[in-house]
Structure 1
């Protein structure tokens, strides 16, 4: 049997106020006059937080548009603009939710690898290490800070750049940065973590490594969304660690049905990852009966709206596109249902599921 030789993050700093150490963390990784590039979620434009980013010399903040999930064309443009302006950079720092961090990972890789980022959508296609890269989450749940993938929508598919060169060299986990997140957004990304854990813990790829992290992440999610009334600083602390542990859990196993189906939604409709997972998971009683029951209870308790009927006016061609994207997620289906998953998941099964969403 071949065991995966799993690449982890280089350095992790955790704690309230840890962001204040960013300048000293970056200093040893500066290369001459080459700047550090900060890709910051546009949410923070014109907000006081942007003034806390430690700029030196030619450093540059680019406020990135993450209204939609990252597209390969956007990654390519950012990398090309940076090469045209600076030649090379010392590093790329992603500050924001999962999409901002995924953009930072992808741009870092495209500073050193030829062609388009679409050429690297798949498993282990990246051949060169990117420039130094740092991930700083301001939302908790996606696990993007620890994963070896950067989720991208390309011209023909939605698929990550999964490689040993993708993980960050450094992450800064500061729960204070998540304190002002909008309640709905915080719930959707938190549920991304909860759903990761349910998929990982009930999957055929399960092992003690992923189980250890997955059980802890699930417990932390329950502490925040089931056992607590109201939100406080401890909720931010716990959810940030749930996100980290949830990301670690799927690193050595896989996600499952909700992710496989929601990839189709985001490819066709641009549905954001967290909310897409919630829309799909809401209809997955047949696959995850206990998890879905608890999820629905959390939705009700936290008074969150899960959109419905988003596939109501789609054409045959639209459904076919979503089904194609979803069926391309073979490792996810195999983790969820085993090696004979294709006997259980047909185009008809998927069509019926998409019609429910």
Structure 2
């Protein structure tokens, strides 16, 4: 099954950002690939953690393999793309729907693609509370058709709008308009959700009692809040954030794994390795040796544009929102050819 059609084609994806002051080299990719990260509108900054666009012209026949880290919930839309298979743990989704909701995950994700464009946006816990009626826990480590949770009409309009985009610089304005119109009213839990998001984004204790004390709620209320809006019990959220803070440092440093940089709350390297088995299903060295061009590029590009390298570590207190100046700048950044495969990209 292939997902081909619409105006937005791979040769219209240049890569880059709507954000001023970000070096073009941040978005450099191997031949045949491009990556883009954009900030959402200021009114969405608490709810949407960022927009991304991936393009690849490689692996069309044999399939290209990429690995990704555990993440918060996100939506992904395949445009002008061949078949896509995604595995989370032992469960494989093949073929992936054109528009999918990826629930929050605590396991690494493996994707096999056959060329095309993938557009996505991350959803914070505050965003989940305003976009979805069901508990995030119902979707942990799962992928479902987007129409099952946001309805057929919205999904149809979303896909059609993105297919009709003239290029990747138009993606952010399209998503801004549709998501602003879709947001429900603020949730009664919003103050506590925000506090827990801030706790997860910073170094600190990983015990539930400390987190509950900071939120000034009982531990059972913290568990309910965590599962409903974040998808996992609080202990799992705290451990996932601690592990990814440490592991991302190793990945971004490059070279051999240096366990002296891991979080100080780890007793020793073996403690860190146990968490690696939980969240990656393998050792850090083995994961770092895997083929993952888009993960490596996204850590770099996301950090430059959105202020943190991964969705799990996204800090809404520090994340920059798009203002009028950066919106205007999208008219110039859309002309930049970021991929090193310039001949394969039309602007």
Same-fold call, TM cutoff 0.5? no
Given the two structures, how large is their TM-score scaled by the length of structure 1?
0.29
Given the two structures, how large is their TM-score scaled by the length of structure 2?
0.29
Of the two structures, which has the highest relative contact order with CA contacts closer than 8 Å and spacing of 6 or more?
A: 2
